[in-house]
Structure 1
Amino acid sequence: MTNIILCGGSGTRLFPLSRSNFPKQFLKIFNINTGNEGEQQNTTTQSLFQLTLLRNAKFCQDSLIVTNNEQYFLSLEQLREIQKDSKFILESSARNTAAAIILACLELPEDTIVLVTPSDHLIQDEASYAQCLQKASILAQKGHLVTFGITPNFPETGFGYIKAKGEDVESFREKPDLKTAQMYVDSKDYFWNSGMFCFKVKTLLEECKVYAREIYDSCVAVSTCAERLEDVVYLKDMDKIPSNSIDYAIMEQSKNVKIVPSNIAWSDVGSFDSLFNTFSKDIQNNAIEANATILESSNNLIYCDNPKKVVATIGLQDSIVIDTGDCLLISKRGESQKVKNIVEKLSSKGNLCKTHLTTYRPWGSFTILEDNKGYKIKKIIVNPSKRLSLQKHFHRNEHWIVVSGTAKVEIDGEVSLVRPNESIYIKMGHAHRLSNEGKIPIVLIEAQVGEYTGEDDIVRIEDDFNRE
């Protein structure tokens, strides 16, 4: 079995924790206990993406991750952390799940059984999950398209529903109002649509030819022109592929769909209210992921990404408090689905909805410490055996002060070694590059001075990661 992992997302539903360049599947906020029963338990923090890879690696021999250029390097770094490998398909533009799944299937032999999963779901009952996968695999071998229906335990208006009788799917239903959702739950005939599927590649492609011929033909054309290098497939010119979900394009039309009812402690972690339900609680039913001191406060979700910052509450009830350094979100519980409306209002205010103060690059990361008119100060971390692009700027000068590690710096062809407590100056317009040829990360402080310090004032002359 091959796991096709859909790894896109706009990062709006868990803003400000997630951003468009760092969506929720990469947030390392889930504490996982490791160690055998009876031994001392160690706690490690992992992301939904990492948990998805680790969970499905127990049942699938291979994985194929469908993502984009921006998230490719994030994926690689998180794969390295959990010591896993994968093949990748990099989309040139997002065309929804139908195209993503078809393009992935075109890379696989026709008799391959695939398990299609989003990268940002949480499944806590892995024993039941294993049983569901076994049932789904048997149905897929028989030539069926299989969907996983989550047994609902409350009337959720944010999910689509599937009506089924036994293993036969009768219909798909749109996101309902609360009254209709309650009726669905009471009837016992409806399931939440999980967005997970299992089928044989040949079965899916044959159904595509019948129900989504235009999407199928467009995907074949894009796949034919793709560039394939080692374990990465680079797709081009995807804009001509019709954008549609796999549900609308195939599942809701096909007469060959089966369902596996799944009671697997599943969550799509699609809001702060659902995130609250996944965290452990204190005696006052507070989910606290912060250095917090609380007084007469209960039923709250409190999160702060700075362990040195104290969060204090008095008389706070049924609320959500999320502090990420550059943004503070306060909401009543039950209202967090409206976060996307806040993102719409903030989208015109610079890069707030796009990036955090810390931005990840294929060579490491940088954190903005200060950003004012005429200057910007960053902390930059360059990983071993990595180097920045050879680049120049037209509107700023840069001062680099090395804190740890030894930096190899090239400026207009001249090479210098800059050691801890030493600095170097790069004048605007001069081509420069920083490399880490050592065994430990380089940490340096960069002071930019100039009339414009935006990230788009970069002209890349040469780059190891094929960025423009």
Structure 2
Amino acid sequence: MKVIILAGGGGTRLFPLSRAGFPKQFLKLDGGMSLLALTVKRFLAVARPADIVVVTNKDYVHHVRSELAAAGASDAHVVLEPAARNTAPAIALAARYCADELGAQPDEVLFVTPSDHIVRPVEIFGRSVRQAAELAAAGRIVTFGVKPDKPETGYGYIQAGAKLGAGFVVDSFKEKPDKATAEKYLAAGNYYWNSGMFAFTVGCLMDELKACQPDVYELAARPFGEVLAHFADMPDISIDYAVAEKSKKVAVIPFTGYWNDIGSWDAIYEVLDKDADGNAVKGDCLALDCASSLLMGHSRLIAGIGLEDVLVVETDDVILVAKKGESQKVKDLVAELKARGRREAQEHTTVYRPWGSYTVLGEGPGYKLKKIVVNPGHRLSLQMHYHRSEHWIVIGGTAKVTIGDTEQMVHENESVFVPQSTKHRLENPGRIPLELIEVQNGKYLEEDDIVRFEDIYGRM
């Protein structure tokens, strides 16, 4: 069995913690590991790292490799989508990779999962995966259905029919219902939340794509290199719409463990531990006479008085305040921020790069102040800027600096000046992170004023 983990999404429903530049699969909300790393760890009970394929894009590849290492799965494969085309093309691309690059035969099972859900316990999950693989090997497209415990309106539903092995034949898929319809589904007893996880053989997937979504099949049937080259020509369509809702071969396995797609701040509130008053508190927060609220702080004290059913989430540049039950509208907020051209919709003040990270500490007309961290053994590209000079002050570690034709070592409490329009490079030759303060001066200080001459990360 091959495991396909979809990690290319840039969802923003958990704004301001999740943003386009750092989406929720990389957030650490449960047990100190990211949601992606936790997803990988779940599958190590049923698959080898070499049988795991993570589908993502070039903007997230370094995050993905870091999380794979954290999960003990550095041997997992990473496939890069050339463009964002939803789950059906992403799965088709991964299936072609498994067939052409990993030698997967038509009867080998593929288990497809999102990268950003919480699922537990691992033992029940592993048993359900094996049951799904058994049904898939018999020629079925198998999905996981979660038994609802409330009339949830934020999930799609699966209507189960006749018994089939450890699961049921799927009679139909239902869109997200209104409250009254969700209550009917709950009372009926044969409706399940759609978890977004699927299992099928390589051959079954290709047959159903051919029958249900021929425009995806036509490209997916080509060799992997051609699929990659023409990936942007695929339609933007989910596997649910492309195959699952049309196929006559779909079965559902009831999952009896805990599942949460972490699709909103209300969902985060459900996952976190609560105090005696029903408050979920993370960070430096004080809740006085508050009840059933979420307070999540990051860089300052958050003090709440008399709050009830309120969500407060703070980062170093945004504070989100919402009523519980309204957090599905966060995506509308992000859309409005994007329409206004606000930087906050795209990235945090701390931005991650393959060599480390930088944090904007302050800025104004003609200057910008950053803290830069370069990981041991890494280096920035050989570059220059037309519109700014830079002054570097090392506050931790040792820097190897190239300025023009000169190379020098810069130690803690020492500084160096990089003139405008001069080739330069920053490198960490040591064994501990290099930390420095960068002061930029110039009329134009945006990130696109970088001319690269050499780059070990392929960003030329």
Query: What's 2:84 paired with?
Result: 94
Shift of 1:125: 2.5
Query: What's 2:5 paired with?
Result: 5
1:106 is paired with a residue whose SS is helix
Per-residue CA deviation, residues 133-170 of structure 1 (Å, 9 max, x unaligned), is 12111101112111111111111212111111231001
Shift of 1:220: 4.1
Counterpart amino acid of residue 317 in structure 2: D
Query: What's 1:83 paired with?
Result: 72
Asked if the contact 2:38–2:71 (Cα under 8 Å) also holds between the matched residues in 1, the reply is: no
1:391 is paired with a residue whose SS is strand
Query: What's 1:57 paired with?
Result: 44
2:345 is paired with a residue whose SS is coil
Counterpart amino acid of residue 333 in structure 2: I
Counterpart amino acid of residue 84 in structure 1: A
1:46 is paired with a residue whose SS is coil
Is 1:374 the equivalent of 2:366? yes
* Moved >3 Å (runs of 4+): 219-222
Query: What's 1:305 paired with?
Result: 298
Per-residue CA deviation, residues 60-95 of structure 1 (Å, 9 max, x unaligned), is 122100000011111112222333221011011111
Is 1:26 the equivalent of 2:13? no
Per-residue CA deviation, residues 207-239 of structure 1 (Å, 9 max, x unaligned), is 11221121122234582337xxxxxxxx34422
Instruction: Decide which of 247, 250, 253 is 2:243's aligned counterpart.
Output: 250
Instruction: Decide which of 271, 280, 284 is 2:277's aligned counterpart.
Output: 284
* Corresponding pairs, count: 445
Alignment of 1:104-253 (within 5 A): 104-108=94-98, 109-110=104-105, 111-165=107-161, 166=163, 167-221=168-222, 223-225=224-226, 235-253=228-246
For the residues of structure 1 that align with 2:28 and 2:126, how far apart are their CA atoms? 24
Asked if the contact 2:12–2:334 (Cα under 8 Å) also holds between the matched residues in 1, the reply is: yes
Asked if the contact 2:43–2:126 (Cα under 8 Å) also holds between the matched residues in 1, the reply is: no
Asked if the contact 1:11–1:22 (Cα under 8 Å) also holds between the matched residues in 2, the reply is: no
Query: What's 2:101 paired with?
Result: none
2:235 is paired with a residue whose SS is coil
Change (3 A) 1:220 1:447: farther
2:59 is paired with a residue whose SS is helix
Instruction: Decide which of 260, 265, 272 is 1:267's aligned counterpart.
Output: 260
For the residues of structure 2 that align with 1:391 and 1:304, how far apart are their CA atoms? 37
Shift of 1:454: 1.1
Asked if the contact 1:398–1:427 (Cα under 8 Å) also holds between the matched residues in 2, the reply is: yes
Shift of 1:96: 0.6
For the residues of structure 1 that align with 2:95 and 2:70, how far apart are their CA atoms? 27
Is 1:323 the equivalent of 2:314? yes
Asked if the contact 1:162–1:169 (Cα under 8 Å) also holds between the matched residues in 2, the reply is: yes
Query: What's 2:326 paired with?
Result: 335
Shift of 1:467: 1.3
Counterpart amino acid of residue 213 in structure 1: P
Asked if the contact 2:373–2:433 (Cα under 8 Å) also holds between the matched residues in 1, the reply is: yes
TM-score, normalised to structure 2's length?
A: 0.94
Query: What's 1:349 paired with?
Result: 341
Change (3 A) 1:237 1:403: farther
Asked if the contact 1:408–1:415 (Cα under 8 Å) also holds between the matched residues in 2, the reply is: yes
- Stretch deviating more after TM superposition (156-165 or 96-105): 156-165
For the residues of structure 1 that align with 2:196 and 2:16, how far apart are their CA atoms? 25
Instruction: Decide which of 440, 445, 452 is 1:448's aligned counterpart.
Output: 440
For the residues of structure 2 that align with 1:255 and 1:180, how far apart are their CA atoms? 25
TM-score, normalised to structure 1's length?
A: 0.93
Change (3 A) 1:18 1:399: same
For the residues of structure 2 that align with 1:159 and 1:294, how far apart are their CA atoms? 31
Asked if the contact 1:12–1:19 (Cα under 8 Å) also holds between the matched residues in 2, the reply is: yes
Shift of 1:385: 1.0
Change (3 A) 1:453 1:222: farther
Q: Once superposed, what is the RMSD of the aligned Cα atoms? A: 1.3
Per-residue CA deviation, residues 155-204 of structure 1 (Å, 9 max, x unaligned), is 12121111112310011111111111111111112111111011111111
Asked if the contact 1:151–1:262 (Cα under 8 Å) also holds between the matched residues in 2, the reply is: yes
- Stretch deviating more after TM superposition (290-299 or 47-56): 290-299
Counterpart amino acid of residue 101 in structure 1: I
